[in-house]
Structure 1
């Protein structure tokens, strides 16, 4: 993500999602976070009760956890909303 201009980043992302997907649609999120239980749990809670399929995998040395989340969302605005919620968790890298 463009840390210097998140407004432009999300505007461009919305345009790309509108152009490439038919909504509602499944969307795949990928995040990397330090393997700290509270951070991983916070990400899981953001997607609670949404029917999301969540897969977590620790790195070889166990220091980081990659989290893949597939969830059905109504529109690009919902995709961006979840990115912003996860972005409030310190140290999360969105792929």
Structure 2
């Protein structure tokens, strides 16, 4: 079984950057921080990951939900809200 990846593309050239690996399940949602400096992802593995938009490195991660993590959104630039497939919502400080 292949490891799920996030594929990132340059919006001006369409060039594909190296895939971002980290989740052990299908990615369910992405969110961009208001300042555009970071983006967050959640997946079937229950993890939330925050990535630097320039370096494309994972800068923060947490096991957000025991089951699937279904959605994510930024709350300002320093926190994310995740929702599990069971409807449970959580607020995370990602500084």
Normalised to the residue count of structure 2, the TM-score between the two structures is: 0.28
Structure index of larger Rg: 1
Whose strand fraction is larger, Structure 1's or Structure 2's? 2
Normalised to the residue count of structure 1, the TM-score between the two structures is: 0.28
